[in-house]
Amino acid sequence: MKHTILVFLGSCAAAWAGEAALVQTYQPLDGQGSGEIEIRPVSCVDWYSHSGFPNVINLISAPNKPPTNAPEPVGDINLASIYGLSFKGGDPEGDRTILLDATRFAVPENHGHPREKILRASLECLRKVLPEKFTSAPIKLECHEKDREWIGKILEEFKKHDRSKPFFESPR
């Protein structure tokens, strides 16, 4: 009986384990000395790479602490992460709704990028990584009431935008 229980528990644990793979997403990065927002491809470890879900969408807002030769470690340079924006991809076989969660959106004291540019740059990252099944997926907004009007305007503009063309462009 103990052996049967152990085999069952071991099988369950294997079923919940992730299988990691390197994937590429895009992130709005702090251009450091340039003072600009730079949309860049970023390699990420996707723990749930074989789930079938578009995790590259979720990884847009993952913290990014790049390797450096600086004398001090460089902190997170992903502006979506720093400003508190996040995306969650929908179910490719069901409800494809993408969630834009701006409930933690705030401009940090030591960052001077306008909030509108951060949002536009983050939506550009979303545009770049959307799998074909998701190009016409609805986008649901979660945010505080005080932010609903200005975020909603930009989100509506993005929804109407031709997704084959850039929504926000880095200066370089």
Handedness of CA 37, 42, 45, 48 (dihedral sign): positive
Write b or e for each residue in 130-163: b if 16 or more Cβ atoms lie within 10 A of its Cβ, otherwise e.
Answer: beeebeebebebebeeebeeebeebbeebeeeee
Of 118, 83, 89, 75, the closest CA to residue 25 belongs to: 89
Of 129, 111, 109, the closest CA to residue 61 belongs to: 129
Tell me how far apart the alpha carbons of residues 67 and 112 are, in angstroms, rounded to a whole number.
Answer: 24
According to the model, what pLDDT value does residue 119 have? 97
Tell me how far apart the alpha carbons of residues 125 and 38 are, in angstroms, rounded to a whole number.
Answer: 10
Tell me how far apart the alpha carbons of residues 22 and 4 are, in angstroms, rounded to a whole number.
Answer: 36
The residue with tokens 């009431």 is 145
**How does strand 86-88 pair with strand 37-46?**
unpaired
According to the model, what pLDDT value does residue 17 have? 54
- Full-model pTM: 0.85
Domain residue ranges in the chain: 17-160
According to the model, what pLDDT value does residue 117 have? 95
User: pLDDT in tens for each of the 172 residues of the chain?
Assistant: 555 554 444 444 444 456 888 889 999 999 877 789 999 999 999 898 777 777 899 999 999 999 889 898 889 999 999 999 999 988 877 888 999 999 999 988 887 889 999 999 999 999 999 888 788 889 999 999 999 999 999 999 999 999 899 999 877 6
